[in-house]
Chain A
Amino acid sequence: MNSLPPLIPVAASTLAYDFEAIFWYVTAICSIGGLLVYAGLLYFCIVYRRGRTTGSTPRILGSARLELAWTVIPTIIFFSFFGWGAVVYTKAVHPPPDAMEIFIIGKQWMWKAQYPNGQRIIIGGNPRNMTEAERNSIGKLVLPVNRPVKLTMISEDVIHSFGVPAFRIKMDVLPGRYTNQWHHPVRVGEYHIYCDQYCGTWHSLMVGKVAVIGEQEFDDWLNGLGNQHGGSHAVDGSLAQEGQQLFLKLQCIKCHSANNQAAAPVLENLFGSRIPLKGGGAEIVDAEYIRQSILKPRARVAQGWEPIMPSYEGQVSEADLNALVAYIRSLHKGGTPDRTEQFPKPVGAPTERSLGEKKE
């Protein structure tokens, strides 16, 4: 069994601190009120128990002044709860105008997030029906620290509710109507996402994680760079995606495929790594090395491979090279496209993969 979680759960957004303040205010006032009643009950039960008292009691019918006091004072206190609560709620339901908008779609039993630049993520799903590798690649809702984001949410089927305890807010996700919530994360880390509105068999598995990361890391991630957190590798319209089109068009994929019989190394997770060179020495893969490997491929060949790659000097522009570098930089494990014998189809044309997805 696990040890006790911390007394106060982690607070990771500005709203979480607003919540804690009013929560402890209400808790303190209610504790005082409750303990006063308990003290009265206990005192009376001890002092006026039969034995210390005979059965003879005074005839006390009540007190208008006391009734007035314990009507008015609680009312004032309760209205203070209302007032402060309304202030927090007002802030919670009104996103600032500069908040980046992320769309959230709920469906039985997973979440989908779509970012303004096309980046998209699938969060959750039933991990029992997954392989270990799939479980490890479950997406997270990636958010930047110290930047407001607005979630615009809708459901494809029944009512769900998107709640992040570390942000201290939840909001129902309805079919046929947008609802929204917004966050201003202030703490880097990973936090739970729960579906809080009962939605059927695997309601309790419609859970996931939100990953709050640094602002620079977030901007890189939007462009398909860095740790992917389960997002798409090359985002539509990004430089990396342009590079992917070139990678296919120039037939790089023919040799640099994720195939056992490939004639050239697969380029996944290559950027930034240190590779040994044929004939001794080693090189850290950076933009310069990739550029040179395309233009003068036989100059510095990775160990274990034959210098068979033709030079692309004169065939690719500097702009194309930038795109290819961005693509290789974004290539992560499992991200190499399937090798096709045909010339790549235009952007947006259905592929076998996307057709297969739709059939499911």
Chain B
Amino acid sequence: MSTATVQGTPGLSPVPPEPPPATPNYLNNSSGIWSWLTTVDHKRIGILYLISITVFFLAGGVAAGIVRLNLLSPEGAIVNEDTYNRSFTAHGVLMLFFFLIPSIPAVLGNFLIPMMIGAKDLAFPKLNLASWYVFMIGAVFGVWAILAGGIDTGWTLYPPYSTRASQTNVVPGVIGVFITGFSSIMTGLNIMVTIHKMRAPGMTWGRLPLFVWSLYATSLIQLLGTPVIAITLTLIGVERVAGVGIFDPELGGDPLLFQHLFWFYSHPAVYIMIVPGMGVISEVVTCFSRKNIFGYHAVAWSSMGIAVVGFLLWAHHMFVAGISYYSALLFSFLSMLVAVPSAIKVFNWTGTLYRGSITFQAPMLFALGFLVLFVIGGLTGLFLATLGTDIHLHDTYFVVAHFHFVMVGGMVMGYFAGLHFWWPKMTGRMYSDWWSRVAAAIIIVGFFFTFVPQFILGYHGMPRRYPNYPAEFQVYNVMSTAGASILGIGYLLPAFYLTLSLFFGEKASANPWSATGLEWVSPSPPPPFNFDEEHMPVVVAGPYEYALGIDQLGRGLPESPGTVDDPSSRAGGHTGPAGPMQKETEVVG
């Protein structure tokens, strides 16, 4: 360990006084349902998305409940095969297209990107509102398809089953997903332009919070990938309705063509789902360990690396689908490359904790849960990228468990971490500290019980999408269902305490976590245009100067929650976080 040159440290800056509550704030500056339905305020649109996707999350959760309950018995405990097939399809479609893809980008991204970069709104506020309407129109088709009998193809919609054999509502479902795709493109475009053009003075690319970097990478995927799924779904509809042979070999088509097109979007789409979660973790881990992020550039560029390399490995979903030997080798090789940036991120987050001062409020518990679960999710992905192991594990519960470890253990934990982190900012209220920690603990425990047995099932060969199964698999299925019921309780708890906080919660200060980002400068909840229009922010510091104790405006940070040392021992501001201080930059390793 050595010491290096002193960073250009801002002079002593006092902790700013608590800003007065915004009058009006974005929630109460107009009222009535119409004011919400016609709003162009990015924060209100974020809330519209939040309410919408919460409904879909619950609906998708109910479908998952049917699936798991049915698997209690080898014969299928509660529903027949057709109902089961419709349930797992509904679960997949709702969770992926109507919850995970919009979750962090459209809720937290919408709300926070302008605030984090010091802008009054997104670049195209009306486009932003339009994206929500487009999303809801697509959702209407999707819900119609599911309620009017359902779809039984699985979310992957493989033809010729989906175009020839399925007797269910494939076309409305496909139209629904097609339409929501445009909403995703609009949000991605909006966020990307905003980040390029609307950063506050001094907010250089090297000072962007990592959440902004991660959403920039996500937007890139959304812009480039989503049109491909749009044309693919259109072709499915054309073949199904008009009988034009595109994928069905009986009509002269090629079923593998669909799989190539589908995964060309849907593999990058899993990075649309996970990369924003990684952004949240960078924010939360730094704040609750009071440390600069370890390796800012490595973390930022690894997001971009994932976004770019993520486009080059779609065919690893097809190793046993009948692709050529040489393309299997190529795509296995490329799949190894994408594991590297994810590993880099995990090491850097762990390094951030080193010599920190860590507290364990709910956002941090969710973030640590993310780290623990994402490590397993990522490592088990290597089994599926490796050809010699994928030939057995493909299409088994091993894949199901891996995918859920990344998507639920990773992204949903990241979403909950972000929701708990920014909830005081969004609503102006604090939620129950104790209940939120309990919920985080229950979710992590329930998650392990649900999905670890599924790895064993998959290793033993139990195929996915089976409503009934050989009796020897029952033990693990019962364990998994038991875990899922714990997980279900864990997910219901936040619905209660977060709702209660709106009415009974303590009023939140502007910066309750003592965080450094620009979004914490404004009062909670923020005024309609985010910042005091007379004093738009001018950025002078990088995003995570917790060690120096200054935010991005160079102002001192308030006392962080969970501080237990004696403030008198920090007289002069040289030892504590409350006062800005001269501090040398240490170099490790």
B387 near A58 (CB under 8 angstroms)? Answer: no
CA distance A108 to B152 in the complex (A): 15
- Are A81 and B160 also in contact (CB < 8 A) when A56-B576, A203-B465 are? no
B589 near A59 (CB under 8 angstroms)? Answer: no
A56 near B388 (CB under 8 angstroms)? Answer: no
B350 cross-chain contacts in A, Cβ below 8 A? 37, 40-41, 44
A196 near B565 (CB under 8 angstroms)? Answer: no
Partner-contacting stretch, out of A111-119, A155-163, A225-233, A322-330: A155-163
Q: Does B587 contact A (CB under 8 A)?
A: yes
Q: Does A82 contact B (CB under 8 A)?
A: yes
Partner-contacting stretch, out of B55-63, B172-180, B317-325, B484-492: B317-325
Measured CB to CB, the nearest residue on chain B to A195 is: B463
A163 cross-chain contacts in B, Cβ below 8 A? 392, 395, 461, 463
Q: Does A354 contact B (CB under 8 A)?
A: no
A78 near B339 (CB under 8 angstroms)? Answer: yes
CA distance A50 to B513 in the complex (A): 14
A59 near B461 (CB under 8 angstroms)? Answer: no
Measured CB to CB, the nearest residue on chain A to B460 is: A9
Measured CB to CB, the nearest residue on chain A to B472 is: A5
A56 near B255 (CB under 8 angstroms)? Answer: no
- Counting contact residues on chain A (CB < 8 A from B), the size range is 35 or more
The residues in B between 370 and 391 inclusive whose CB is less than 8 angstroms from any CB of A are: 371-372, 375-376, 379-380, 382-383, 385-391
A165 near B547 (CB under 8 angstroms)? Answer: no
A60 near B587 (CB under 8 angstroms)? Answer: yes
Q: Does B166 contact A (CB under 8 A)?
A: yes
Q: Does A53 contact B (CB under 8 A)?
A: yes
A207 cross-chain contacts in B, Cβ below 8 A? 470
Measured CB to CB, the nearest residue on chain A to B574 is: A56
Q: Does B328 contact A (CB under 8 A)?
A: yes
Q: Does A353 contact B (CB under 8 A)?
A: no
B357 near A54 (CB under 8 angstroms)? Answer: yes
A74 near B339 (CB under 8 angstroms)? Answer: yes
A61 cross-chain contacts in B, Cβ below 8 A? 292, 294-296, 585, 587
A3 near B475 (CB under 8 angstroms)? Answer: yes
Instruction: Indicate which residue in B152, B351, B357, B471 contacts A2 across the interface (CB closer than 8 Å).
Output: B471
CA distance A27 to B455 in the complex (A): 12
- Are A158 and B165 also in contact (CB < 8 A) when A172-B320, A174-B255 are? yes
Partner-contacting stretch, out of A83-91, A96-104, A139-147, A310-318: A83-91
**Residues of chain B whose beta carbon lies under 8 Å from any beta carbon of chain A:** 7, 81-82, 85, 152-154, 156, 158, 160-161, 164-166, 248-250, 255-256, 289-298, 319-322, 325, 328-329, 332-333, 336-337, 339-340, 343-344, 346-348, 350-351, 353-360, 368, 371-372, 375-376, 379-380, 382-383, 385-392, 394-396, 459-461, 463-475, 478, 545-548, 560, 562-565, 569-570, 575-578, 583-589
Nearest first, the 4 A-B pairs at minimum CB distance are A165-B461, A176-B249, A88-B388, A89-B387
11 new A-B contacts at CB < 8 Å, known A57-B357, A159-B158, A204-B467:
A2-B474, A9-B459, A58-B583, A59-B548, A62-B298, A78-B339, A84-B388, A85-B388, A87-B388, A92-B388, A161-B320
Give me 19 A-to-B residue pairs in the complex whose CB atoms sit less than 8 angstroms apart, sorted by A's number: A18-B388, A30-B382, A30-B383, A54-B576, A56-B576, A57-B289, A58-B547, A60-B292, A60-B354, A60-B586, A62-B348, A63-B294, A75-B337, A88-B387, A93-B328, A161-B320, A171-B391, A201-B81, A204-B467
